[in-house]
Amino acid sequence: MIPTDKPLRILHAVRAPVGGIFRHIIDVANGQADRGHEVGILADSLTGGERADLALADIAPRMRLGIHRLPIKREPDPTDFTIWFKFMSLVRRLKPDVLHGHGAKAGAFVRLKGHARDLIRIYTPHGGSLHYPQNTPKGAFYSRLERGLMNRTELFLFESAFARDTYQRMIGTPSGLVKCVFNGVTSGEFDPVELADDATDICYVGEFRRIKGADLLVDAVARLRADGHAVTLTLGGDGEETNALKAQIERLGLGGAVRFIGHVKPRFGFSKGRLLVVPSRGDSMPYVVIEAGAAGVPMIAANVGGIPEIFGPHTDALFTPSNAGAMADAIKTALGDLNGTRARAMILRERIQREFSQDAMVAGVIAGYREAFANH
């Protein structure tokens, strides 16, 4: 057993070094290094591009177990066997105490390793395979895989009660330890965001993927404009749906009302709109909501996944998900009373300060590791 006061050797594994999952790993790894633990990161080399390269290069000097890249495909692929053997070779060389897999593919790699007396296997799904309906072939496959690996896991760390409950409803109740630790933000992210001179009425910040719902937001803008509300929108982000979004905007005749500013840092994106809209079809514990809440940004969001856990009792800011009409109504209400919307944002900021800090997140993760070792 690992003594409770011994610094841990921790290897985080993730497939795609992008989005909130990557930001979570960077923040947790930094916090663990600050506390004297020896930490490393394994990530896919096929995705992330220059942004991932720069982020990993920035954290590399603090990662005593190193930064490692392997070509990990998103979907199940015959090359997975080769990659897993290389991963196991890396594990044998680094001799970590903790293997922490983030997302479905990396979580599978970690848990395919056999039981060991001096090592624990941790899994944080971050949504992952849980986003696929079980009545589809892909969803059924992933559900079977998750069930097969469920009891090869010493600790499940969920970032929201929603993610935990979804897992247990879809997959089952694990025999290992189950903990919820909220995502958290750093102290500098509580500084206010100054509104840009060229700010539009609304802004969106995030990936352009169907689950994130940017297309629903475009439909909501079209509805508002058709009803005589000349709202404008800034889209900050990129992703697989970029071309489809541009075609949708052209088809709806919104070229003069909607602008793209590419991938931007969240706080810069927040400055480009008087109201941030989070239109997700599904989400577990999205960082964009926590970041905006920390900065006191006026915001409304879909009432889906773990988002209500961030807002707590402040449900006036939430609208029915996957419903462009409900979103349009919520935008009209929020913009119609911006003073009230701003006041609500400041109340949410106080909640974020209490419950969603990086320190609390890192402390919760390490406490989970220690308890898993005690059970192990």
pLDDT of residue 2: 53
Distance CA 86, CA 240 (A): 29
Distance CA 300, CA 360 (A): 25
Q: Token pair for residue 236?
A: 């900050």
pLDDT of residue 58: 97
Among candidates 335, 222, 346, which has minimal Cα distance to 276? 335
Distance CA 273, CA 292 (A): 12
Residue range 172-185: average pLDDT?
Answer: 93
Burial (Cβ within 10 Å: 0-12, 13-18, ≥19) of residue 84: middle
Distance CA 368, CA 130 (A): 22
C-alpha 161: how far from chain center: 14
C-beta neighbour count of 99 within 10 angstroms = 27
Distance CA 211, CA 205 (A): 14
Distance CA 180, CA 307 (A): 15
pLDDT of residue 205: 97
Strand order in the sheet with 318-319: 258-262, 233-236, 200-205, 273-278, 299-302, 318-319
Residue 138 has pLDDT above 80, yes or no: no
Domains of the chain: 9-184+357-375 (3.40.50.2000), 188-355 (3.40.50.2000)
Could you give phi then psi for residue 282, rounded to 5 degrees?
Answer: -160, 140
Among candidates 156, 18, 55, 59, which has minimal Cα distance to 100? 156
Residue 1 has pLDDT above 70, yes or no: no
- Contact (Cβ atoms closer than 8 angstroms) between residue 105 and residue 74: yes
Q: Give, in order, the Cα–Cα distances in Å from 105 to each of 3, 70, 127.
A: 30, 13, 12
As beta bridge partners, residue 275 has 202
Q: Give, in order, the Cα–Cα distances in Å from 54 to each of 17, 35, 69.
A: 11, 24, 13
Lowest mean pLDDT segment, chosen from 7-16, 140-149, 246-255, 366-375: 140-149
Residue 4 has pLDDT above 80, yes or no: no
pLDDT of residue 128: 64
| Interval 17-31: pLDDT, tens | 988 899 999 999 999
For 124-153, letters b (16+ CB in 10 Å) and e give bbbbbbbbbeeeeeebeebbebbeebbebb
Q: Give, in order, the Cα–Cα distances in Å from 62 to each of 26, 32, 78, 116.
A: 11, 10, 34, 27
Please tell me which residue, 218 or 355, carries the higher pLDDT value. 218
Residue range 314-323: average pLDDT?
Answer: 94
Percent of all residues in the chain with a pLDDT value above 90, rounded to a whole number? 84
- Contact (Cβ atoms closer than 8 angstroms) between residue 107 and residue 90: no
| Interval 96-108: pLDDT, tens | 999 999 999 999 9
Lowest mean pLDDT segment, chosen from 75-89, 124-138, 139-153: 124-138
C-beta neighbour count of 38 within 10 angstroms = 18
pLDDT category at 140 given cuts 50, 70, 90 is confident
Residue 259 has pLDDT above 70, yes or no: yes
Q: Token pair for residue 27?
A: 């923040």
pLDDT category at 143 given cuts 50, 70, 90 is confident
Please tell me which residue, 138 or 78, carries the higher pLDDT value. 78
Among candidates 148, 144, 168, which has minimal Cα distance to 156? 168
pLDDT of residue 203: 98
DSSP per residue over 260-296, as a string?
Answer: EEES--HHHHHTTEEEEEE--SS-SS-HHHHHHHHTT
Residue range 195-207: average pLDDT?
Answer: 97
- Helix/strand/coil for 375: helix
What share of residues in the chain are helix, strand, coil (percent, to 5)? 50, 20, 35
C-beta neighbour count of 176 within 10 angstroms = 18
